[in-house]
Structure 1
Amino acid sequence: MNYRHAFHAGNFADVLKHVVLALIVRHLNAKPSPWSYLDTHAGCGIYDLEGEQSERTGEWRNGVGRLEGRRLGDAAEALLAPWREVIAGLAADHPGGRLYPGSPEIVRRMARREDRLRLCEKHPKDCAALSEAMGRDRRVKVVEIDGWTALNAWLPPRERRGLVLIDPPFEEPGELRRMADAFSRAQRIWPTGVYALWRPIKDPADTRAFLDAIRASGAAKLLRVELLVRAPSDPKVLSGSGLLIANPPWTLEADLRAGLPEVAQALAQGPGAAAVVETLAGA
């Protein structure tokens, strides 16, 4: 995968990540107390799907493009609703373009006045673009830093509740092992936070090793969520993506079980497309 997320913005992996992210934020908003959001690899914040990088790959056409103007069943639409609302709001603010919100923009648009966002991005150009996208929003702090470093230094937040999104580029060998180790350390520091760990799905052996490492972390509550657009067969081909969610909101599992299978079929690219929703710990 290419670290510059603009090549992949709005693809099927983004759909899973951002739909679940918006659902988690909606749950956080159900309580009046403020929350904190930490994004370890934030990217640019907003992406132009008609820009050179997005057009070069065209991946968004098999992601958000498949769901534009398409109505699914009630359970699937309930999952998609918060995400769709953010996309619609961004489009209303920028008529005439085709923009897609990354995770920072989704959370920023859903955050309340008292909530706080801390966004990490180590690529200088992407960090500058992220700062521009976030504008002068006082709730948001953008830092040009390696997110792994921030994860160790910035937990626990003063709000004592909130969400950490760990979404590395997976360009270097051993990134899954690094993520498992980093999560294990982080949840010992802040065991009550909600964590969402995103990963690509290519090699089933890598998936098994990662899940074993996460189980060994000792986290009390873990939910495995995956969306496959085809059955994994070639370890060089992205067949799907997954999220490991620690301390998931209490209705999230049931909501995903009800609606995610239809979303997976809507995004299918070959035989074996499916959704996986499984409790790994804390049943």
Structure 2
Amino acid sequence: MHPTDSRSLAGNVAQLEAGRQITVAREDGFEALKALLPPPSRRALVLIDPSYEIKSDYAKVTACLRDCLQRFATGTYAVWYPVIPRPEAHDLPRRLKTLANQSGKPWLHATLAIGQAPDRTTPGEPAPRPGLLASGMFVFNPPHTLKAALAPALVQMEAILGRGRGQGHQLEAGG
């Protein structure tokens, strides 16, 4: 996390009443989880959102979750990932689903694609960069109400954020 973002996040968390229950640390999250799990309360939601700028992050996510599930099997783990044209990104949801099934854990997988905006560039001008067109969230041990709550939310988010060709969403669960 960028230092400015880290300070901003820490400041926002400090303003919350729940600030004592939330830990903000600017360090290697994959390594930090080893010291934090299992938590004393035996309840936790762990958000895993690496930069994915380094290709090895994809493999680290799977290895980290395997370790987390051994240390704290009942925790809820939410993994965000970009849907981009990179083999590692394409394989990640399949690997997470395999890990969840091998571990006997319930899982939920949601994706949202906003699609590409119509090309409105003037001839001779460079086309604007499209940015991230889709992303996904894979959740291990999701709350039992999450799928029912997320289904209409995905429809609404697609309606608000969708830009046309390629937009859509998917929601699946297992375990």
TM over 0.5: yes
Could you tell me which residue of structure 2 aligns to residue 130 of structure 1? 9
Could you tell me which residue of structure 2 aligns to residue 221 of structure 1? 106
Seen in structure 2, the aligned counterparts of structure 1 residues 161 and 173 have a Cα distance that, compared at 3 Å, is same
Could you tell me which residue of structure 1 aligns to residue 125 of structure 2? none
Deviation, structure 1 residue 186: 0.8
Native 8 Å contact 2:81 2:89 kept in 1: no
Identity %: 30
> 1:255 is matched with which residue: 139, 142, 149?
149
Seen in structure 2, the aligned counterparts of structure 1 residues 139 and 163 have a Cα distance that, compared at 3 Å, is closer
Paired amino acid for 2:111:
E
Seen in structure 2, the aligned counterparts of structure 1 residues 222 and 139 have a Cα distance that, compared at 3 Å, is closer
Distance 1:140 1:211 in 2: 27
Residues paired across the two proteins, number: 156
Could you tell me which residue of structure 2 aligns to residue 273 of structure 1? 167
Distance 1:262 1:170 in 2: 27
Distance 1:254 1:158 in 2: 30
SS of the aligned residue for 1:143 comes to coil
Seen in structure 2, the aligned counterparts of structure 1 residues 210 and 138 have a Cα distance that, compared at 3 Å, is closer
Question: Runs of 4 or more off by more than 6 Å in structure 1?
Answer: none
Unpaired stretches in structure 2, ≥5 consecutive residues: 117-129
Structure 2 residue 83 is the aligned partner of structure 1 residue 198? no
Deviation, structure 1 residue 237: 5.3
Paired amino acid for 2:112:
L
Distance 2:23 2:93 in 1: 32
Paired amino acid for 1:258:
P
Paired amino acid for 2:155:
P
Seen in structure 2, the aligned counterparts of structure 1 residues 273 and 186 have a Cα distance that, compared at 3 Å, is same
Could you tell me which residue of structure 2 aligns to residue 147 of structure 1? 29
Paired amino acid for 2:66:
S
1:1-283 equivalence runs, <5 A: 123-135=2-14, 137-203=19-85, 205-217=87-99, 218-219=102-103, 220-230=105-115, 238-279=132-173, 281-282=174-175
Deviation, structure 1 residue 201: 0.7
Unpaired stretches in structure 1, ≥5 consecutive residues: 1-42, 44-122
Paired amino acid for 2:30:
W
Paired amino acid for 1:227:
L
Paired amino acid for 2:7:
A
Paired amino acid for 1:238:
L
Seen in structure 2, the aligned counterparts of structure 1 residues 216 and 229 have a Cα distance that, compared at 3 Å, is same
Distance 2:43 2:49 in 1: 20
Native 8 Å contact 2:55 2:88 kept in 1: no
Deviation, structure 1 residue 151: 1.3
Native 8 Å contact 2:82 2:89 kept in 1: no
Distance 1:242 1:173 in 2: 17
Native 8 Å contact 2:108 2:139 kept in 1: yes
Seen in structure 2, the aligned counterparts of structure 1 residues 276 and 187 have a Cα distance that, compared at 3 Å, is same
CA deviations on 1:219-270 (whole Å, 9 max, x unpaired) are: 4111101111117xxxx95221110011111121122223312321221123
Native 8 Å contact 1:202 1:237 kept in 2: no
Native 8 Å contact 1:265 1:273 kept in 2: no
Native 8 Å contact 1:164 1:194 kept in 2: yes
How does the TM-score come out when normalised to structure 1?
A: 0.49
